[in-house]
Structure 1
Amino acid sequence: MAKRTHKARNAYICNACGVRLPKWSGQCPDCGAWNLVEEAPDLPAAAGRAGYAGGVEGGSEAVLLTAVEPQERARLGSGIAELDRVLGGGLVQGSVVLIGGDPGIGKSTLLLQACAALGQGHPVLYVSGEESPQQVGLRARRLGLTGEGVHLLPETCVERVLARAAAERPRIMVVDSIQTLHTELLQSAPGSVSQVRETAAQLVRFAKQADTAIFLVGHVTKEGALAGPRVLEHMVDTVLYFEGEGAGPLRLIRSIKNRFGAVNELGVFAMTDRGLREVSNPSAIFLSRHTESVSGSLIMVTREGTRPLMVEVQALVDESPLANPRRVTLGLDQNRLAMLLAVLHRHGGVAMFDRDVFVNVVGGVRITETAADLPVLLAVLSSYRDRPLDMALAVFGEVGLSGEIRPVPNGPDRLREAAKHGIRRVIAPAANVPKSGLQALDIVRVKSLSEAIEAVLS
């Protein structure tokens, strides 16, 4: 009689309470959570818990923090200065970088350009799960890239990808994209939460053990967030996002997480017929090109990562036919605009309860810091009063709820950036202005919103 063979079965785990179930269920019978039961590989304890954070397999010993000698990790230049800036100075060996963005915004183009530059001195493996080698070759030819040292691997099984990577031993590996990979340990379809999490875990483990730098391309949802489990961003070392409109000429890359550099660092690129071209002086791109002063337009000095940036903010105030006037922002937090308008009413004496207010940051830049508070309010006031502001005026500063102007980080750097671009007058928080000042600038020190309004309208 033939001996029966038992098929390996996977386990199902609730992400809320961690209970293991014999089969999938829409609701966890232990904690009652809905839609949180997911498939997971039923591996032996030793295989399922293999570490990849730099410890010794089979167990690690605790050491004193003072006994650990810090070692500077070697960095590889990608040949693209703006990408190296966002990465914190270059690509760190053994790191995993996740790049997300809208379809067609330039993720594969940028990585192919970086691979072509890195391949001249290091072995590179480009894993394509979405395109054939012919499609990748046609793009490289269109971009004028030679592709020396770059090996293409059209594969979607992560086990076969890692087997080939172990044989090739590349210094850099690109996976385009993580949502197309699958592991043979799971039965679910590629792109599911369990597949993305397990394949990413295997790739991260390989990167740490083989000291290979890996780029992962990630899809995004319609809300703009990375598709897949949130834990994916925690597993990798660096998370980069493409910002801006895909139809525009500019492409902005922001570092959301970086274990080897500064976060919120911004890289600026221009899309051309030869691929992405880095913009070394983005302030010149974002500044206005008006021939004369217009109301509602103002230059603010923001800071993205380690670089000060000159950006134009535009405001439009109009009578509202609605009972609830609209507050629309592009590149800014809409809730913060509502708060600033309340401060303008309370401490500036200007009411906007019957007006629609629209605010836009030129160039598709998204400003998250509070230094944009004072420029936004002064631009709104300029549009409301129909009073054009000086084109050589720049403003920065945080506005508190009591109407005070609070200092922001790196004030002297912002002032020097303004002077470098021909700005003659700056309105800034008093605490941010050095005692000696700057010879090329007429700096107006303000401590309250009323002082800033008076400085603008006088």
Structure 2
Amino acid sequence: MAKAKSAFVCTECGAEYRKWQGQCSSCLEWNTLSEVRLSAPRPGAAASSGAGRSGYAGNLSKEVVDLGSVDLTEVPRLSSTFGEFDRVLGGGLVPGSAVLLGGHPGAGKSTLLLQTACKLAQARKVLYVTGEESLSQVAMRAHRLQLPTQGLKMLAETSVETILAVAERERPEILVIDSIQTMHLEDIASAPGGVAQVRESAAVLTRFAKQSNTVLLLVGHVTKDGTLAGPKVLEHMIDASLLLEGGADSRFRTLRGQKNRFGAVNELGVFAMLEHGLKEVKNPSAIFLSRSEEQASGSLVMVVWEGTRPLLVEVQALLDESALGNPRRVAVGLDQNRLAMLLAVLHRHGGLFTGDQDVFLNVVGGVKVLETSADLAVLLAVVSSLQNRSMPRELVAFGEVGLSGEIRPVPSGQERIVEAAKHGFTRAIVPRANAPKRAPDGMEVVAVDKLADALEAL
């Protein structure tokens, strides 16, 4: 009888080692290696057959074909019944794909998937597997949300072998697993939620989805720093990784793609948590622009680009004289390192010194801005707070700021200006290369080349 072997896997990056060590050599994190017991090969199992656990083959096709002969017919997508959900997915659910939905406790992961499953079950076969809640708890939630419950198949189970047997019998088009951290395989000698169980359970379920052309939706937990729990190899197995964000004190939730093999990863979906569940927000700019009537210094609206649409959000800056030898630089919703760089550019090319000031920056609404088009708006908000002078409410700005003080153009500049004009803004400070030949009616476009030109335009 073959002896079971063990390995040590890093929970941060998924690197494997034969022996335990204090620091992972790949990601340089400390105390992240955990032991994984590898099951011994079953007698008579062919090493070259590619068969995985539960009898499902790892290879979808064993025939060698020419790339030019592959059928290019686009696979029809299934609508999730949520336009914002479909936008982040790249157009809808793809049959045979595995989608991982993560988020903090209480963000609304189970609520979103239960709403989607109940609506899809009216026309398609859906199997909802719950490993954290009982069937009565899920039924009470569906009743509270006033969802149609007829037609949705439910299963309370944590054994992957049992789930696959039921799925083989029911043949659902959509399979929901809530959550992957509660699933376990019988031949893995570790507790549910461990590195080995999460990785192997996801691998077996993904193989079943690929082979049976089933849409697999997995719910994943997140760690304290907001990343998906478990090894990084879990993200390599799946086709799409989505993160549902939103604080407990806010009724708005943002759905952002971190990986998507069937669409863009920079799309953003916005939902509102209401009494009857999540409701999609068709016009996100309207909720992020709910500003106070009183004008205040350090506040400015910028136009960022999220996926295929512009988004108007407000950035706020607060500068205060520091009592510390090393003034603080705090950025919420923006890259803190980029803030330090922009302050250096402001001193060198704008003539404004902030080295003795604590700088606090916040993007209203909990939006995380990942692109560089916010540079110009950030600097103008910092200048407004530093001089304690409020800017006009009808002003917007966008543009990338270079280290030499130049204002660089950003993609889709004209579409951003048009979106700002739709929301009633009458003045825009933009890079000269993004200035349109003809501005929208009622909109004054100020084109700038240097940071000094933008400061003068204020």
TM-score (norm 1): 0.92
Match of 1:340 among 304, 321, 342: 342
Cα distance per residue 1:157-190 (max 9 Å; x no partner): 1111111011000000110000000011211111
Cα distance per residue 1:320-352 (max 9 Å; x no partner): 111111111111111111111011001000011
8 Å contact kept, 2:9–2:17:
no
8 Å contact kept, 2:270–2:284:
yes
Q: Confirm whether residue 60 of structure 1 aligns to residue 63 of structure 2.
A: yes
Amino acid at match of 2:4: N
Find the aligned partners of 2:355 and 2:163 in 1 and give their Cα distance: 60
Amino acid at match of 1:382: S
Aligned positions of 1:214-225 closer than 5 A: 214-225=216-227
Q: What secondary structure does 2:318 align onto?
A: strand
Taking a change above 3 Å as real, the CA distance of residues 36 and 187 of structure 1, as seen in their structure-2 partners, is closer
Find the aligned partners of 2:7 and 2:59 in 1 and give their Cα distance: 27
The equivalent of 1:122 in structure 2 is: 124
Find the aligned partners of 2:94 and 2:181 in 1 and give their Cα distance: 24
Give, in angstroms, the shift of residue 47 of structure 1: 5.8
Taking a change above 3 Å as real, the CA distance of residues 37 and 132 of structure 1, as seen in their structure-2 partners, is closer
Aligned positions of 1:79-98 closer than 5 A: 79-98=81-100
8 Å contact kept, 1:243–1:365:
no
Amino acid at match of 1:61: V
The equivalent of 1:389 in structure 2 is: 391
Find the aligned partners of 1:15 and 1:413 in 2 and give their Cα distance: 47
The equivalent of 1:313 in structure 2 is: 315
Find the aligned partners of 2:79 and 2:295 in 1 and give their Cα distance: 43
Find the aligned partners of 1:112 and 1:161 in 2 and give their Cα distance: 18
Q: What secondary structure does 2:378 align onto?
A: helix
Q: Confirm whether residue 69 of structure 1 aligns to residue 57 of structure 2.
A: no
Find the aligned partners of 1:299 and 1:439 in 2 and give their Cα distance: 20
Tell which deviates more after alignment, 74-83 or 395-404: 74-83
Aligned positions of 1:23-422 closer than 5 A: 25-27=19-21, 35=33, 37-43=35-41, 44=45, 45-46=47-48, 55-56=60-61, 59-63=62-66, 65-422=67-424
Give, in angstroms, the shift of residue 243 of structure 1: 1.7
Aligned residue pairs total 442
Amino acid at match of 2:5: A
Amino acid at match of 2:417: L
8 Å contact kept, 2:51–2:58:
no
Unaligned runs of 5+ in 1: 1-5
Give, in angstroms, the shift of residue 438 of structure 1: 2.7
Taking a change above 3 Å as real, the CA distance of residues 393 and 53 of structure 1, as seen in their structure-2 partners, is farther
Cα distance per residue 1:257-314 (max 9 Å; x no partner): 1111111211111111111111111100001422132111000000111111000001
Give, in angstroms, the shift of residue 36 of structure 1: 6.0
Find the aligned partners of 2:154 and 2:34 in 1 and give their Cα distance: 37
The equivalent of 1:3 in structure 2 is: none
TM-score (norm 2): 0.92
Find the aligned partners of 1:418 and 1:18 in 2 and give their Cα distance: 47
8 Å contact kept, 1:299–1:311:
yes
Tell which deviates more after alignment, 80-89 or 433-442: 433-442
Amino acid at match of 1:40: L
Unaligned runs of 5+ in 2: none
8 Å contact kept, 1:313–1:375:
yes
Give, in angstroms, the shift of residue 18 of structure 1: 9.0
Give, in angstroms, the shift of residue 434 of structure 1: 2.5
Give, in angstroms, the shift of residue 13 of structure 1: 3.4
Give, in angstroms, the shift of residue 198 of structure 1: 0.3
Give, in angstroms, the shift of residue 412 of structure 1: 1.4
Find the aligned partners of 2:179 and 2:368 in 1 and give their Cα distance: 26
Give, in angstroms, the shift of residue 234 of structure 1: 1.2
Taking a change above 3 Å as real, the CA distance of residues 187 and 355 of structure 1, as seen in their structure-2 partners, is same
Tell which deviates more after alignment, 66-75 or 312-321: 66-75
Find the aligned partners of 2:350 and 2:68 in 1 and give their Cα distance: 54
Cα distance per residue 1:118-169 (max 9 Å; x no partner): 0010011000000000000000000001222211111001111111011000
Identity of aligned residues (%): 56
Find the aligned partners of 2:244 and 2:181 in 1 and give their Cα distance: 17
Taking a change above 3 Å as real, the CA distance of residues 20 and 82 of structure 1, as seen in their structure-2 partners, is closer
Find the aligned partners of 2:5 and 2:413 in 1 and give their Cα distance: 55
8 Å contact kept, 1:14–1:37:
yes
Give, in angstroms, the shift of residue 46 of structure 1: 4.1
Find the aligned partners of 1:148 and 1:40 in 2 and give their Cα distance: 42
Q: What secondary structure does 1:298 align onto?
A: strand
8 Å contact kept, 1:52–1:204:
no
Cα distance per residue 1:26-73 (max 9 Å; x no partner): 349xx99983653223334246555868632xx33152x333231211
The alignment yields a C-alpha RMSD, in angstroms, of: 2.2
Q: Confirm whether residue 12 of structure 1 aligns to residue 6 of structure 2.
A: yes
Amino acid at match of 2:342: L
Find the aligned partners of 1:66 and 1:391 in 2 and give their Cα distance: 57
The equivalent of 2:450 in structure 1 is: 448
Find the aligned partners of 1:62 and 1:405 in 2 and give their Cα distance: 51
Amino acid at match of 1:305: G
Find the aligned partners of 2:249 and 2:213 in 1 and give their Cα distance: 38
8 Å contact kept, 2:288–2:314:
yes
Give, in angstroms, the shift of residue 20 of structure 1: 9.0
